Structure 1
Amino acid sequence: MKEELLNQLNEVYSEASEAEKKTIEELINAILRKQKNENSSYLSEILQAKGRFIDNHYEITIPNSEIIQNSLNIVHGGITATLIDSAMGGLVFELLPEHQAAVTTELKVNYLAPGIGSSLTCIATLINKGTNLIVTEGKVYRDDGKLMAHATGSFYIIKRKK
């Protein structure tokens, strides 16, 4: 299995364009970063997501690379939705006590402009925190400052599994 995989990787890499070689390197680096960081997911490492909680909001920035683009060379809508869900989920995680977690129950996204530029940033803010449900808002901005997407999301609060 290992030898076959290495042969396939060598074959793909030897026939790859420079852009494809860069993509292969980005994917391998994402796996290496995941192996070194227990709290991250493969997806967040592939997206190269950088998140932080500041001033009662959660912000995640990702670079716009070929990995996340569709056939029109703009960011795939599913990646935009993932960025939004991750930022709003990060906010919810920060607001809950350790014994609680939350899962997305609804996500409504309005796409307002194409995903172009070198990076995208989603800023998530709280709309309402109840005993069972948290409602949030997310706004995605391109690096030129243009609002690219707007979303609302609902998260159901659950007990955290140990």
Structure 2
Amino acid sequence: MTKQDILEQIEAMSERDLKAVARTVNALNSMKENHYPFLGNFLGVVEEESQDDNEFVCSMPIGREVLNPYRIVYGGITATLADMAMGWMLELRISPRDKFVTLDMNVNYHKAGTGKKLIATARVVNQAQDIWQMACDVRNDRSDLVVTATATFRQLYRSKE
């Protein structure tokens, strides 16, 4: 698809579709500034202040683009927020030269994702050598528990070279 093809399709879009395109463009531009992955920027994930040093808190607004046909947040989006929260916390705890990968993740859904935003609170459950066990609660802006998740991450050490 050429740039001209894209521009022609944009010209034919509704205002609602243009908002989705604008959100995509904003996410791409934000990646250059904050170095956060596209999906996190597209979803509007931001760090929130935490009162507990042992927890990491982030949130995302609930917009039309993350709702399923029943007008609740897609379960996969909520699981993605939990994964991002646990990963973001881990990223702040390990050496900047090291990386990590998710080995497994378990998600339990408790209530529909509704409201104005979802708030994820992540914490370390255990750390043994290069294996990190994490947990995360996702609540809506009315404090309803939407999801609980646990995950295991493996830290990948990079040499000091």
| TM-score, normalised relative to structure 2 | 0.89
Sequence identity (%): 28
Instruction: State yes or no: 1:4 paired with 2:26.
Output: no
Residue 53 of structure 1: CA displacement? 7.1
Could you give the per-residue CA deviations for residues 33-84 of structure 1, whole angstroms, max 9, x where no partner exists? 22333x2111011001102574121111000011111111110111111100
CA contact (8 A) 2:10 2:18 kept: no
Displacement of 1:21: 3.5
Q: Secondary structure at the match of 1:152?
A: strand
State the match for 2:95 in structure 1: 97
Residues 118 and 140 of structure 2 are in contact (CA less than 8 Å); yes or no, is this contact kept in structure 1? Answer: yes
The one of 122, 131, 134 aligned to 1:133: 131
- How far off is 1:142 after superposition? 0.3
Equivalent in the alignment of 2:27? 30
Q: What's the secondary structure of 1:156's corresponding residue?
A: strand
Separation (CA, whole Å) in 2 of partners of 1:98 and 1:26 = 29
Call closer, same or farther: CA 1:151–1:40 in 2, change over 3 Å: same
Q: Distance in 2 between matches of 1:53 and 1:159?
A: 29
CA offsets, 1:83-109, max 9 Å, x none? 000000111112212342211001000
Matched, 1:74 2:72: yes
Contiguous gaps of at least 5 residues in structure 1: none
Structure 1 residue aligned with 2:111: 113
* 4+ long deviations beyond 6 Å: none
Whether 2:39 is the aligned partner of 1:46: answer: no
Q: CA deviation at 1:110?
A: 0.2
Work out the CA distance in 2 between the residues paired with 1:6 and 1:21. 12
Q: What amino acid sits opposite 1:26 in the alignment? A: R
Q: Contact 1:116–1:142 at 8 Å: present in 2 too?
A: yes
Aligned residues: 157
RMSD: 1.8
